[in-house]
């Protein structure tokens, strides 16, 4: 997990958008990339006060080892599970063909 760069280029925004499956037009990229750069630079200001002895933090609460016992709990029914699905068939989620980009 490398350090995030303090700024971001238009190409990087386009690349991330593709990874996140967000379809951005050229105009949207022109508009958003500088805005994201400003946001990242603002957040990077934290680095100026965080000294070397401060560990990067992934959790605000210093807890470890929160577990549950290995016990089976009731599940949803297939009808409940599929209730919010855009499409379903044979008790399964129906999704568009998968290898669109590669096939």
Partner 1 sequence: MTVTDELLSYDDAVAAYDPVMGLEVHVELNTASKMFCGCSTEFGADPNTQVCPVCLGLPGSLPVINRTAVESAIRIGLALSCEIAPWCRFARKNYFYPDMPKNFQTSQYDEPIAFDGWTELDVDGELFRIGIERAHMEEDTGKSLHVGGSTGRIHGAQYSLVDYNRAGIPLIEIVTKPIEGAVAKAPAVARAYVAHLRELLLALGVSDVRMEQGSLRCDVNLSLRPHGQDAYGLRTETKNVNSLRSVERAVRYEICRQAAALAAGDRVVQETRHWHEDTGVTTSGRSKEQAEDYRYFPEPDLVPLAPSREWIGELRATLPEPPREHRARLQAEWGFSDLEMRDVVGAGALLSIEQTVAAGSTPQAARKWWLSELARRANEQGVELTALPITPGQVAEVQGLVDAGRVNDKLAREVLDGVLAGEGTPEEVVTARGLEVVSDDAALGTAVDRAIEANPDVAEKVRGGKTAAAGALIGAVMKEMRGQADASRVRELILERLS
Binding mask 81-100 for partner 1 (x = CB under 8 A): xx-x----xxxxxxxxxxx-
- Contact of 23 with 47, CB cutoff 8 Å: no
CA distance 22 to 10: 14
CA distance 8 to 4: 9
Residue closest to 90 by CA, chosen among 98, 80, 82? 82
Q: Which of residues 34-63 bind partner 1 (CB under 8 A)?
A: 58-59, 61, 63
DSSP 8-state symbol, 56: P
The site for partner 1, by CB under 8 A, has a size of: 39
**Least distance in angstroms from the C-beta of 80 to partner 1:** 9
Counting contacts by CB under 8 A, is residue 69 touching partner 1? yes
Residue closest to 41 by CA, chosen among 10, 6, 3? 6
**Least distance in angstroms from the C-beta of 82 to partner 1:** 6
Counting contacts by CB under 8 A, is residue 9 touching partner 1? no
Residues of this chain that interact with partner 1 (CB under 8 A) are 1, 19-21, 58-59, 61, 63-78, 81-82, 84, 89-99, 102-103
């Amino acid at each position: 997990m490398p350090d995030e760069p303090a700024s971001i280029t238009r190409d990087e925004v386009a690349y991330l958008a593709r990874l996140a499956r967000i379809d951005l037009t050229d105009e949207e990229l022109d508009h958003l990339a500088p805005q994201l750069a400003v946001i990242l630079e603002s957040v990077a200001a934290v680095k100026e006060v965080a000294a070397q002895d401060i560990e990067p933090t992934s959790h605000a609460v210093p807890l470890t080892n929160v577990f549950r016992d290995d016990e089976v709990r009731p599940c949803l029914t297939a009808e409940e599970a599929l209730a919010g699905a855009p499409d379903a068939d044979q008790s399964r989620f129906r999704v568009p063909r998968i290898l669109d980009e590669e096939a």
